[in-house]
A and B are shown apart, each in its own frame.
Chain A
Amino acid sequence: DIQMTQSPSSLSASVGDRVTITCQASQDISKYLNWYQQKPGKAPKLLIYDASNLETGVPSRFSGSGSGTDFTFTISSLQSEDIATYFCQQYDNNPLTFGGGTKVEIK
């Protein structure tokens, strides 16, 4: 199975800050990497697919980049409604695997 190492596991930032989360795959997964946001008690929500494509309706402050084994997810200006846990997910190989998650809090 492909291991997805996500870091940090948690972070605290101020409103307006730039926030960056990384995800590293244990082997080359090309661009087959998605990012999800999950708020407490809710199902995950797709934000970015294929490493850098913004899902329809998702604010442009969210972005993704990378290919191969190293990927980055960025919130350019953190808003209070962005408080959530973020997960990366690869789909280059079965089984689909997820990163451990990054919990984002407001400082």
Chain B
Amino acid sequence: QVQLVQSGAEVKKPGSSVKVSCKASGGTFSSHAITWVRQAPGQGLEWMGRIIPVIGTGNYAQKFQGRVTMTADKITNTAYMELSSLRSEDTAVYYCARGLYDSSGFILVYWGQGTLVTVSS
């Protein structure tokens, strides 16, 4: 059984960066994409991108290009999502998720518990 455990809540100033971690246990880490989805307060779900650890490069939503970096550490089975130039609209719960039926991370079976990132001056 795959488990994804994320890092704790963060409060950040506008213009700064945040790095959220997602540690996986169980299953095969390297060959399955880790997908990142965010949810602003009271809003819907928004796909940010994904990374396949064995490949190592992220595939990002156009909206976040230039501001987001996704990485993965195959030694510690941990994925990271770093978002820079934070603004108040980035206040959201950030989730990592992983597939079971597909290695591409399109059918999201396993989810982390979510990390609340608050951007406030």
CB within 8 Å of B: which residues of A? 32, 34, 36, 43-46, 49-50, 55, 87, 89, 91, 94-101
Contact B44 A91 (CB under 8 A): no
Q: Shortest distance in angstroms between B11's beta carbon and chain A's nearest beta carbon?
A: 19
Per the CB 8 Å criterion, the residue count for chain B at the interface is 21
CA distance A84 to B28 in the complex (A): 31
Contact A87 B112 (CB under 8 A): no
Residue numbers in A under 8 Å from B80 (CB-CB): none
Residues 96-121 of chain B: 1 if any A CB is under 8 Å from the residue's CB, otherwise 0? 01000100001111011110000000
Contact A87 B107 (CB under 8 A): no
Contact B107 A95 (CB under 8 A): no
Residue numbers in B under 8 Å from A49 (CB-CB): 101, 107
- Known contacts: A49-B101, A91-B106. The answer to whether A98 contacts B111 by CB under 8 A is no
Contact B108 A98 (CB under 8 A): no
CA distance A96 to B49 in the complex (A): 9
* Closest 6 pairs (CB-CB, A-B): A91-B106, A43-B111, A96-B47, A98-B45, A95-B61, A49-B107
CB within 8 Å of A: which residues of B? 35, 37, 44-47, 49, 59, 61-62, 95, 97, 101, 106-109, 111-114
Contact B111 A101 (CB under 8 A): no
Residue numbers in B under 8 Å from A89 (CB-CB): 45, 108
CA distance A21 to B39 in the complex (A): 21
Contact A43 B95 (CB under 8 A): yes
Contact B108 A46 (CB under 8 A): yes
CA distance A99 to B112 in the complex (A): 21
CA distance A94 to B33 in the complex (A): 14
CA distance A97 to B37 in the complex (A): 10
Q: Shortest distance in angstroms between A82's beta carbon and chain B's nearest beta carbon?
A: 19
- Known contacts: A43-B95, A87-B45, A99-B44. The answer to whether A94 contacts B101 by CB under 8 A is no
Contact partner, A100, options B44, B108, B112, B113, Cβ 8 Å: B44
Contact A43 B101 (CB under 8 A): no
A and B contact pairs by CB, cutoff 8 A, 12 listed: A34-B108, A36-B45, A43-B111, A43-B113, A43-B114, A46-B109, A89-B45, A97-B47, A98-B45, A98-B46, A99-B44, A100-B44
